[in-house]
């Protein structure tokens, strides 16, 4: 009768398992689309609320609601100076676009159905068709990736 020990087999299985696990790379979970990263909160749940972009090129606020509606408020100064969101026309022009959004994975589709301005001479048109952007949320920053670059918004609430 041939004597074989089970110990070498167990050691070999453990070695293969360790090699497999070491090949998995970093085990930290930092992907913002991974529900485990944010305590099981979905990207859609994280998106709901107000997001602000306050840059020289654009001064805007997105408001995403639970019911799938969205509002984009775009502020500008007709004099070309600093924008004061608390001022009314003619100091600050406010353009408001209202519509809906859908989210599939990390792709958000915006469809605007209404546009208005506090400037009586502003001939404001609705964007034609849907706008599709890739989004990511890390901590209190919403990143929208467009074909011509990335836009960053800070959470207001």
Domain encompassing residue 66: 43-155
pLDDT digit string (tens) for the chain, length 157 residues: 555 566 555 545 555 554 444 455 445 555 555 544 556 679 999 999 999 997 766 799 999 999 999 999 999 988 888 888 888 899 899 999 999 999 999 999 999 999 999 999 999 999 888 999 999 999 999 999 998 999 999 999 7
> Is 31 a member of any domain?
no
Q: What's the pTM value of the predicted model, to 2 decimals?
A: 0.72
The residues, any chain, with a CB within 8 Å of residue 36's CB and separated by 6 or more, are 29
State the pLDDT at residue 56. 67
> Is 23 a member of any domain?
no
> Is 49 a member of any domain?
yes
* Cβ atoms of 84 and 91 closer than 8 Å: yes
Handedness of CA 153, 42, 134, 63 (dihedral sign): negative
> Is 101 a member of any domain?
yes
The number of folded domains in the chain is 1
Q: In Å, how far are 69, 82, 94, 116, 122 from 142, measured between CA atoms?
A: 17, 23, 22, 25, 29
> Is 71 a member of any domain?
yes
Say how far apart CA 43 and CA 129 lie, in whole Å.
24
> Is 96 a member of any domain?
yes
State the pLDDT at residue 4. 57
């Amino acid at each position: 009768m041939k004597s074989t020990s089970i110990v070498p087999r167990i050691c070999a299985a453990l070695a293969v398992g360790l090699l497999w696990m070491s090949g998995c790379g970093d085990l930290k979970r930092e992907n913002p689309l991974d529900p485990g990263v944010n305590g099981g909160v979905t990207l859609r749940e994280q998106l709901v609320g107000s997001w602000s972009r306050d840059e020289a090129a654009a001064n805007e606020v997105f408001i995403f609601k639970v019911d799938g509606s969205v509002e984009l408020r775009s502020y500008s100064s007709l004099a070309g100076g600093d924008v004061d969101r608390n001022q009314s026309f003619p100091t600050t022009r406010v353009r408001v676009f209202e519509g809906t959004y859908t989210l599939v994975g990390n792709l958000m589709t915006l469809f605007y159905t209404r546009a208005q301005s506090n400037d009586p001479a502003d001939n404001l048109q609705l964007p034609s068709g849907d706008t599709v952007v890739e989004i990511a949320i890390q901590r209190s920053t919403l990143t929208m990736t467009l074909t011509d670059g990335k836009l960053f918004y800070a959470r207001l609430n």
